[in-house]
Structure 1
Amino acid sequence: MRFSPTASATSSANYPSTSTWKTAESIAGTLVETSRTADLLVLGKHHAATALGSHLGRVTHALLHHAHCPVLIAPRTR
């Protein structure tokens, strides 16, 4: 898996301690690999705050099952 850091003006200005990558691999696979060296993965939930389960997307579901660090799912705010 290859990561190539990219500069995003909006991301770097608002969140200077974060990194962004472009990759040809799957998003879930990339984040699972990244989780090996992360302290925490924070994911945003697209749907309104409801019960979890079938409302999770593929990436979130994969990370909850395969990440190597804790995963926090932040509910959507209006």
Structure 2
Amino acid sequence: MNPYLRVLAYAKPYGRHLCAAMLCMVVFSLSTGATVWVALPFLQTLFAGETAPETVMTPAADPLEEKTGIAAWRET
């Protein structure tokens, strides 16, 4: 008997597990590729030497005057 067929006979009960493992490997490889694709613009900005756009700083509101939670809900 061919040794490969003998190995396949031993692996036959684990067929569902092998298919699930292969599916997980495909999902992992796609997500790894997507991570590189998403991080690429950040890396290009980081190493291109471009400056970040200017941000305008506004004064913060007085936290004692700001109503949050139930107090803000009651006024609506």
Question: TM-score, with normalisation over the residues of structure 2?
Answer: 0.18
Instruction: Return the index of the structure with the highest Cα Rg.
Output: 2
Which structure has more relative contact order (CA 8 Å, sep 6+)? It is: 1
Flag the structure with higher helix content: 2
